[in-house]
Structure 1
Amino acid sequence: MSIDAENLDILQVYPDELGVTGDSGNVLAIATRVRRAGATATVRHHRIGDATPERPDVVVIGNGPLSAVRSVLDDARRLGPVLGDWVAAGVPLLAVGAGMELLGQRILTPERESIDGLGIFPITTDRAGSRHAGYLVVESPVGPIVGFEDHRTTTTWADGAVPFGRVTAGVTGTAGSADGIRVANAIGTRVQGPVLPLNPVLTDFLIARALERRGVDWSASSAHDELDRLASEARAVILANIDHVFSTI
């Protein structure tokens, strides 16, 4: 379908610190699908010390090490109330790995230090767990999500919290457990890859939720066939190797 005259405003938060696992690919996936539909997409970045940004259509926060979380923490706490207001208003948001942890209630470090998060997601993360590194499949309300996980975290959900999905395949020890978190149109997940180029169904979910706030319908069309074919081929490789164990990376 065409959404002529519509511009999708995408905000990536802390792209330098929380963007180490190909997270710019998530931004590119959103922008490319919108542009293939004949519309425009604007990508903005919020970096440490920047003025508080105006509300975007979609927010993306990526992954990074604990040192990166520490480095953005003061600025993130300044931005937190605005992010919380956006989520409450239904703005779609994707947070991967450490980005999800930052938006949570608390992070426990391997040294057992407790770091307060932004409190937007009702989760606590413990970073002292065993390592999980490998391909996985997550069944979610938007469809099956495939990708890669590499972390040493254990997530605890507050009462009433809604995980994003459940891991149904993989050999890293997380199969059968919940993945991520969902609050309104905000999604947190451990799935890397980056996740959106591999999973057009999730990309379309975020775009659709953004545009429906303007009364605009969205669905994939023949303009997206090539993107969907490439994603399908990549997903097939992952599914064919889902039982592969990664001892080193």
Structure 2
Amino acid sequence: MAESKPIHVLQLYPRDMNIYGDFGNALVLQRRLQWRGYEPILHSYDPEDEFPEQVDIIIGGGGQDSGQDKIQQDLLRIGDKLHALAEDGTPMLMICGLYQLFGHSFRTREGREIKGVGLLDLRTEGTDTRLIGNVVAESKEFGEILGYENHSGQTYLGPEVQPLARVTKGEGNNARDSHEGARWKNIVGSYLHGSLLPKNPAIADFLIAQAVQNRYAETIQPQIDAAGSAQPIEELTRKARTTATRRPR
């Protein structure tokens, strides 16, 4: 029997921060880990839950302002633990609402400030303008990134983070600078739903590669083919991405 090699994937606040299908990101990580011979173990964490002892990848999704209110105090409560994991190189993917709260603060349209955990050097301002539609962005690290944005908060990066990508179709972080998302250490922040990872396996494989390197000091293979598939997985992904880029804004 082959040796079991578990990788623990933690989804933060799925009860309140998962309104655009962001759980699909967990499913992609699960399947791509299985295809490479690792055992994915999925955990969920909601306010007042016990934080898992073993965490290899952390993901989080989007939510309304009310959802951010519900999790704010608990997120601050576990902030030191998240900072320590980030410093140790734990890969993380934060989408939309949790992307905002991984920054310093989110000021709502009404002027109320929701304090963030401060892992990413960024701030978000609520506006009356909604940025919505399909997005295409170019990343030096991950190539072409595809997704769907739907947010009225506009995010501005500080000097301690780099943008994830430059937008070629859509808006991204805000309506001014053509930046989408943020990168710091092994953290990826983005406004893109859809879910993000099915359309962008390069980001999924980055998270997996970092987790496997941290846990087992192993390097993953860049290409995968699932047993029983009529076509190679990467070929199916390429066709899906080609179709997605043709969708109108």
Taking structure 2 as the reference length, the TM-score comes to 0.90
**Dislocated runs of 4+, deviation >4 Å:** 171-176
Q: 1:188 to 1:171 in 2, by over 3 A?
A: closer
Deviations 1:72-130 (A, max 9, x none): 11111111110111111100000000011111101010101122111111100012151
Structure 1 position 17 matched with structure 2 position 12: no
Structure 2 portions without partners, runs of 5+ = none
Deviations 1:114-150 (A, max 9, x none): 2211111110001215111111112121221101111
Cα shift at 1:48: 1.2
Distance between the aligned counterparts of 1:195 and 1:45, measured in 2?
19
Contact 1:129 1:154 in 2 (8 A): no
Structure 1 position 186 matched with structure 2 position 192: no
Contact 1:149 1:190 in 2 (8 A): yes
Structure 1 portions without partners, runs of 5+ = none
2:108 alignment partner in structure 1: 109
2:245 counterpart letter in structure 1: L
Local SS of the residue matching 1:125: strand
- Aligned length, in residue pairs: 241
Contact 2:225 2:234 in 1 (8 A): no
2:223 counterpart letter in structure 1: S
Cα shift at 1:169: 2.1
After TM superposition, list the pairs within 5 Å mapping 1:1-80 onto structure 2: 5-80=4-79
> Which one of 221, 224, 236 corresponds to residue 219 of structure 1?
221
**Higher mean Cα deviation, 37-46 or 229-238?**
229-238
Cα shift at 1:171: 7.2
1:236 counterpart letter in structure 2: T
1:100 counterpart letter in structure 2: Y
Contact 1:14 1:48 in 2 (8 A): yes
Distance between the aligned counterparts of 1:4 and 1:175, measured in 2?
51
Contact 2:5 2:39 in 1 (8 A): yes
Distance between the aligned counterparts of 1:192 and 1:49, measured in 2?
26
Distance between the aligned counterparts of 2:224 and 2:159, measured in 1?
43
- Percent identity, aligned pairs only, is 28
Taking structure 1 as the reference length, the TM-score comes to 0.90
